[in-house]
Amino acid sequence: MDCGVPFCHNACPLGNIIPDFNDAVYHRDWKTAIEILSTTNNFPEFTGRICPAPCEGSCVLGINKPQVTIEYIEKMIVEKAFEYGMITPNVPTKRTGKKVAIVGSGPAGLAAAAQLNAAGHTVTVYERESRIGGLLRYGIPDFKLEKWVIDRRMDIMEQEGIIFKTNANVGVNVDAEALVKDNDAVVLCGGSTIPRDLPIEGREAKGIYFAMDFLTQQNKRVAGDDEPAHPITAQGKNVLVIGGGDTGSDCVGTSNRHGAKQVVQIELLAKPSDSREENNPWPEWPMILRTSSSHDEGCERKWSILSEAFLKDEDGNVTALQVVEIEWYVKEDGSRSFRKIKGTEREIPCDIVFLAMGFLHPQKEGMLETLKIKVDTRGNVDSTNYQTNKKKIFTAGDMRRGQSLVVWAISEGREAARAVDEYLMGFTQLETKDSEPIRASSFS
């Protein structure tokens, strides 16, 4: 590596030590590469497949050439390490006698569990779904992340001593207060699950679904679960996806796999440019147009579109969305706003609509209300150094920071684990982005 001052590791929310593992790979030293990678990332097999790779936006080479493909190198390191038997269960040699319950088995909960178990605590993960993984399992489609990748890691974590309890909905069929009483610490990693709605005229029409209802059903179908009572299918339909982000793109890919007649995806924001704007210089995250493989598979994309009303037939089925084009501008106070463009009103015909406009905050009824957990102004769980308003109760991931990324969830889980370990033991040796890395010694 000849980066001068590298920026990539700073852009990675985990602080992955990228130049060092790249150099090890250059020397075909996979053992050193996985050792370095594992000091900061518990699950490179997830991030190596689905991370949007903010690191690559900060790659020094990216100033004037295509950046180093860090994400794929990461994936290759971890897959080589599995292939060569370098990743084996690392059972703690000493147990502290402290019990920690983790609620939620998404990447935040799993990272917290892995770290706290490594510190010697007895960790139990409670998950309300029938399988472990959170959005890795039930949000992200198999065509982006095959589920054997999660199962492989679960096997290792179980062998390391972590207990997983599925169909365990804390605040519903698991008593939340008893859980707190019976454990020395609890970490809430329940995700951000309340979707943003589109309360416009005609919203009650049949055939309008939240993206997650569609995607979760499909992931369960692929996993071989029984067909639901009300299957949502895009087969032979004119699909309209509202929302231009990752979730929307996953709806596009899934609809195409169902055999949709056509797929249209609309977005309120303006179309990003193909390359960096002047006000978005390197090493910032490039705000550029991103095209996923799902888009490449077939989809008409439209930007600067405001949804005004859903139209329906006499049976109440959605038939079209009334839209108008908008123009974005900067107001005098510097904030951005939009105005409608006269004469651009039109209808987009559709038989099925997926609302993919993000998530508002975690679910409050049930666990959070029972435990009287304070939320912030955005409705996410409030915390100081990952500790909630209740001393024994910590939080991490989307439940704390709002809807985000897998890499951030892993980072949050690690940071929260460090805070819990310190709370339980009075000190901690668990590493996080800003702590001194300690080289793992568990690779053979």
Ligand X SMILES: Cc1cc2nc3c(=O)[nH]c(=O)nc-3n(C[C@H](O)[C@H](O)[C@H](O)COP(=O)(O)OP(=O)(O)OC[C@H]3O[C@@H](n4cnc5c(N)ncnc54)[C@H](O)[C@@H]3O)c2cc1C
Name the site residues for ligand SF4 (rule: CB under 6 A): 12, 14, 16, 18, 47, 51, 53-55, 70-71, 74, 407
| Residue 272 in the binding site for ligand X (CB under 6 A) | no
The Cα–Cα gap between 8 and 421 comes to: 29
Q: Name, in order, each residue with C-beta under 8 angstroms of 157's C-beta and a sequence gap of 6 or more.
A: 110, 113, 114, 117, 164
Q: How far is the CB of 381 from ligand SF4 (least distance, A)?
A: 24
| Residue 134 in the binding site for ligand X (CB under 6 A) | yes
Q: Nearest Cα to 409, choosing from 113, 138, 111, 162? A: 111
Q: How far is the CB of 130 from ligand X (least distance, A)?
A: 10
Q: Which CB, 55 or 356, lies closer to ligand SF4?
A: 55
In the chain, the N- to C-terminal Cα span, in Å, equals: 26
Q: Which CB, 18 or 306, lies closer to ligand SF4?
A: 18
Type of residue at 420: V
Q: Which does 191 bind (CB under 5 to 8 A by kind): ligand X, ligand SF4, none?
A: ligand X
Type of residue at 122: T
Q: How far is the CB of 416 from ligand SF4 (least distance, A)?
A: 18
Q: Provide the CA 377 distance to its chain's centre, in angstroms.
A: 22
Q: Which does 53 bind (CB under 5 to 8 A by kind): ligand SF4, ligand X, none?
A: ligand SF4
Q: Which CB, 210 or 443, lies closer to ligand X?
A: 210
Q: Which does 86 bind (CB under 5 to 8 A by kind): ligand SF4, ligand X, none?
A: none
| Residue 12 in the binding site for ligand X (CB under 6 A) | no
The Cα–Cα gap between 123 and 430 comes to: 15
The Cα–Cα gap between 9 and 53 comes to: 11
| Residue of 13, 15, 104, 243 that binds ligand X (CB under 6 A) | 104
| Residue 75 in the binding site for ligand X (CB under 6 A) | no
Q: Which does 306 bind (CB under 5 to 8 A by kind): ligand X, ligand SF4, none?
A: none
Find the binding residues for ligand X in span 386-425 (CB under 6 A): 397-399, 404-407, 409
Find the binding residues for ligand X in span 192-251 (CB under 6 A): 215, 246-247, 250
Backbone Cα Rg of the chain: 23
Q: Check: CB of residue 109 under 8 Å from CB of residue 134.
A: yes
Q: Check: CB of residue 34 under 8 Å from CB of residue 443.
A: yes
Q: Nearest Cα to 433, choosing from 421, 415, 417, 416? A: 415
Q: Nearest Cα to 219, choosing from 189, 190, 247? A: 247
Residues that bind ligand X (CB under 6 A): 50-51, 103-109, 126-129, 134-135, 139-140, 144, 168-171, 189-191, 215, 246-247, 250, 366-367, 397-399, 404-407, 409
